Amino acid sequence: MNNGQVAGKSPQMEQLEEGKTYAWCTCGKSENQPWCNGAHMGSEFTPNVFKAEESKAAAMCHVQTNKKSTLLRWLAC
């Protein structure tokens, strides 16, 4: 299993909107961190897609370590 690229070492505050779908970068190559921009194409990585359950500010991690990164990873930042 390949490791993702470390895109940063601290979380970034993002305003999530209730009901909106987000694609969190797991490869670390996106220029739109922490969101996926398709830079993973051709690799084994895929974004972690989730729908915000409520509108709120969230600390989104930039640190990706492998393709198995989970939604719990950013919740624990």
Does a structural domain hold residue 69?
no
> How many Cβ atoms from other residues are within 10 Å of residue 40's Cβ?
19
Structural domain that includes position 46: 1-59
Please count the structural domains in the chain: 1
Tokens read off for 28:
């670390």
Q: How far is it, in rounded angstroms, from Cα 43 to Cα 9?
A: 23
Q: What confidence category does residue 10 fall into, taking pLDDT thresholds of 50, 70 and 90?
A: confident
Average pLDDT over residues 53-68: 77
Does a structural domain hold residue 64?
no
Rg (CA), the chain: 12
The DSSP element (H or E) to which 59 belongs, if any, is strand 56-60
Model-level pTM?
A: 0.76
Q: What's phi and psi for 43, nearest 5 deg?
A: -115, 180
Q: What confidence category does residue 17 fall into, taking pLDDT thresholds of 50, 70 and 90?
A: very high
Predicted local distance difference test score (pLDDT) of residue 74: 47
Q: What confidence category does residue 4 fall into, taking pLDDT thresholds of 50, 70 and 90?
A: confident
